[in-house]
Amino acid sequence: MKLWKVLGIAAFAGVAASGVLVARNQRRRAAYTPDQVRERLHERLAEASRPSE
């Protein structure tokens, strides 16, 4: 019975930790203005279209 309690608590902690990471990532993405997003996408496109050596 003790093992199941420990596993349940560990699962709950894992779900809570992943929720914190998702929220932090979402805040970071939401902080960009549309112009910044567009600029970054253009930079990534330019990088991807460069011929590789």
For residues 14 and 6, give the distance between their C-alpha atoms in angstroms, rounded to a whole number: 12
pLDDT (tens digit, 9 = 90+) per residue, 24-51? 888 888 888 889 989 999 999 999 988 7
- Angstrom CA distances, 41 to 4, 24, 26, 29, 51, stand at 47, 21, 18, 13, 18
pLDDT band for 53, please (50, 70, 90 cuts): low
pTM for the whole structure: 0.47
Query: Buried (b) or exposed (e) across 8-27, using 16+ Cβ within 10 A?
Result: eeeeeeeeeeeeeeeeeeee
